[in-house]
Structure 1
Amino acid sequence: MKALTQDRYGTSDVLEVRDIERPEPGENQVLVRVVAAGIDRGAWHLMTGEPYLMRLLGFGLRAPKVAVPGTSFAGVVEAVGPGVTTLKAGDEVYGATRGTFAEYAVASVDKVALKPSQLSFEEAAVLPYPTFAALQALRDHGHVQPGQRVLVVGASGAVGTIAVQLAVAFGATVTGVCSARNVDLVRSLGAADVFDYTNEDFADGSHHYDVILDIGGATSVARLRKALDRKGTLVIVGGEGDRWVGGLQRQLWATALSTLVPQKLTVVVAKENTADLVTMSELVAAGKVAPKLEQTFPLAEGVAAVAAFEAGDAAGRIVIST
């Protein structure tokens, strides 16, 4: 089968499309013919091996253990392994696994769900990663309730675009933070107000929120707390930092500080699971969530697709199709 592969850590320049052996499903696994795979920040970190701490956590010291990058997909079940009873060959599915930038991938059945019929394969392929992160952040950590004020920092990204829609669906009044070129996009998602972080300071103390969702950023905990209600909740989803530990220092500081202040400061470690995908499918069917696509590249141009993601010019999600 054709796959986008890497034999060392790095950016798009280490990738190459080549023929490799097709995987076979094991117990409680399904073999999926991948129709589309979404590119996201999580998959990019696994590809580059940064922060370096990831390498010590078992992903491979000198090269990734999984030579095919990609973590989110949508496709058709080709075969099922022993013990699989909930899915069958021919089912249209979406979910999460390693090695999705390929014609076929194997996934654990407990990380896969039936694809929403309302979505194309390309649209469904970009949903798994932000579904887990945004849904668990808002529902399980932020405990967002109707009428609350929610601030989403990083509102135009993969997780942010879904988080804004989810918070609105939960009945919150949402404010987004993004760059000037994405203000209209974030408003179209349902945000009542939007800060252009290049010209406005959302943490100047003039606005306060019940829940702040900070996604993939580097804003200090002190600044975020200035925009948080006295008994509000800050939820940190990922974060950028140095190449050694990434945003871990900020996350650890937030966790430690939370024991000393009235505000709740928490960190999300997203867990991949079928139940959250089913919840997302229901929200899609109800018209409350819809992914925003920018461009689709064929697998043969997978290197260019990842390069486009790295350039950061896209207003929506980038997809690789097979």
Structure 2
Amino acid sequence: MQNAPQADFAFHALAAALPVGDAPPEWIAIFPQVGRIDTRDGRTYDVDAAALIARFKADGVAVPIDVNHSTHHAARTGARADAVGWINELRVEGGALQGKVEWLAEGKSLLAAKSYRFISPDFFHTSEGVTTWLRSVALVTAPALGGQKALAAASSQESKMEKLAAALGVTAGANEAALLTALNAGFVPKAVHDEAVSKLSASETKLKDIEDANRKARVDALIEGALKEKKILPAEKDHYAQLCATDSGFESVKALLAAKSPALTKSGLDEKKEPDGDAAALSALTPTQLSAKAKKMVADGEAEDFLSAMIALSDRLSSGAA
């Protein structure tokens, strides 16, 4: 890596250019530098060289070098992914994390033909972006982006970023920082969301109670009016109230009662006053006297007054009045 021309150093891609020469390099730069690294799409990682080297020694397993992250992609489908080289040792040299490579025939051939010129690591990291395990290293033509627990090639990663940007209404090509800003701007804390839902539910309940009260008042007024006008009997009150349970039912009953004629005619007794001879006076008459008075009142056209007086007299007698 130290012998590579500066123009071939692809720092922001998390990929390093391979040295130019006839023989394949024994040592390659897996990470151009340790510590903080910023990717081309705005993500940030902390390359913990000590942790990566310790994990490598603890595992005791050589890290494969493949082509275009075929090891990662094959793991999803169970497809074959041959290594073109093996990393048997890690070290920090010149500020970079390097790996000592045992190149296989295919790897040597690819490098000799200059078919691939860049190295891209596939690694695991914590949620804070601190590297924990170097899984594999790939030969790539276009730099691959290091990132998620399962590394994605540049094309697929960019596609995901573009879809996320579109969903958030952010300009295509926005970096991770811009996407996070847009996401946080539209984020609603759960407590606030729950409070809003609770208030909405309470408002809907209150509105329904008001609507129910208004409906009942309208129904009661309609039924009571029909009773007063003698269009329905008291025994029919509950039946008509049930028919008014919906808006359409209420309108139907309203139209029916408007066209309905009174079932009972008024007797006129409600507006009649007791005759001058009240019930007490009639109660003092003998049957003969009462009969004579009745005939006289009929002859004088006062039959209704006499009937009213007799009803009042009957009420007084039934209630025990003297």
TM > 0.5 fold call? no
More helix, by proportion = 2
Q: Which has the larger radius of gyration?
A: 2
- Give 1 or 2: higher strand fraction: 1
Which structure has the higher relative contact order (CA within 8 Å, separation 6+)? 1
After TM superposition, the score normalised by the length of structure 1 is: 0.21
Query: TM-score, structure 2 length as denominator?
Result: 0.21
